[in-house]
Amino acid sequence: MSAIIIKELTKKFGEFTAVDSVSFSVETGELFGLLGPNGAGKTTIINMLTTLLLPTAGDAEIAGYDLRRDPGEVRNNIGIIFQDPSLDIGLTGRENLEFHAMMYNIGSDERKIRIREVLDVVGLADKADILVENYSGGMKRRLEIARGLIHYPKVLFLDEPTLGLDAQTRRSIWNHIRNLNRNYGTSVILTTHYMEEADYLCDRIAIIDHGKIIALDTPSGLKNCLRGDCVSLTIEGGFDLISAALGEKEWVREIIQNGEMLDVIISDYEKNIPYIFQTAGNLGIGISSINFSKPSLEDVFIQLTGSIIREQEGSRLSARRDRMRRRMLR
């Protein structure tokens, strides 16, 4: 059963089309990712599905309710974790949850049960009565997730849930997201700039560019669309000999020489890497070093959009890594 059904959803701002006839569905209990460069339309889609923006055209159903005809019921069945913090830092964690539960008309006795439950889910039971202004960034994010769960939503929207957090805290948040998805059966739509996050969490991923979905598959399915694994060898001469020998194999997709390095793009790495060593040994060619890299979700993203999503502004990939990627994506 589908928790979300989207048909030809479109949003225009004047002459600019931010979302262009997007269609997809999200199954009940599925963790679904939206990836794309800045300005691709991810947040606009989220804003429409959460009733913050009215679509220009198209239709959507959330938890069985029509986005246009039943916006109130849609809001009753969704939770939202916004990209920007929205907690009241002058209240304790418990008070933030209490206030939010009251907004959904949850009775006093039921509020206590639910607050205790969601605090346990996000690991904040022992911090519930501390002012939020004294919370760390990760604790605040976990409290926002707890707040989004307080009314038992059927669909939870997470817009950049770990933006700006350190790697250790991000991993902790990932585990909490996975646990709530499993324990509650909540359908989750996640937008993120972290490729590793999407790969780790999502059952399926849609890549969006210029307002359109340009790819939709499982993380492994997306990565399998690339050319293959890259084995980089440092060898002591004999480039022509080993290139000719390996080039006869159907699982070798490309061979590139660069100085003393030989990059071999292959399929079925685990099965075929021993043959590379055997071939070099038979030809009397010594291998002094070997490196291996598998296609990543970021590689897919670069291939499809021509952009690189980075964890920090100004970060740079090494020239070696860039060169290997370009060869894998040809």
pLDDT of residue 290: 85
3-state secondary structure of 17: strand
Q: Which helix (H) or strand (E) holds 82?
A: none
Residue segments in the chain with a per-residue pLDDT below the cut of 70: 226-227, 307-330
Taking Cα atoms as reference points, which of 49, 52, 55 lies closest to residue 19? 55
pLDDT of residue 302: 84
Query: Beta-carbon neighbour count of residue 128 at 10 Å?
Result: 17
pTM: 0.75
Q: Which helix (H) or strand (E) holds 326?
A: helix 319-329
Position of tokens 């490729």?
195
3-state secondary structure of 83: coil
pLDDT of residue 318: 40
Q: Which residues pair with 217 in a beta bridge?
A: 205
pLDDT of residue 308: 56
Return the structure tokens found at 297. 């979700």
Q: Say if CB 155 and CB 62 are below 8 A apart.
A: yes
Which domains, from first to last, does the chain contain?
Answer: 2-218 (3.40.50.300), 223-329 (3.30.70.980)
Task: Outline where DSSP puts E strands in the chain.
Answer: 2-13, 16-27, 31-35, 57-62, 65-66, 78-81, 155-159, 187-191, 204-209, 212-217, 229-235, 252-258, 261-266, 287-293
pLDDT of residue 21: 96
pLDDT of residue 227: 65
Q: Say if CB 92 and CB 127 are below 8 A apart.
A: no
pLDDT of residue 307: 62
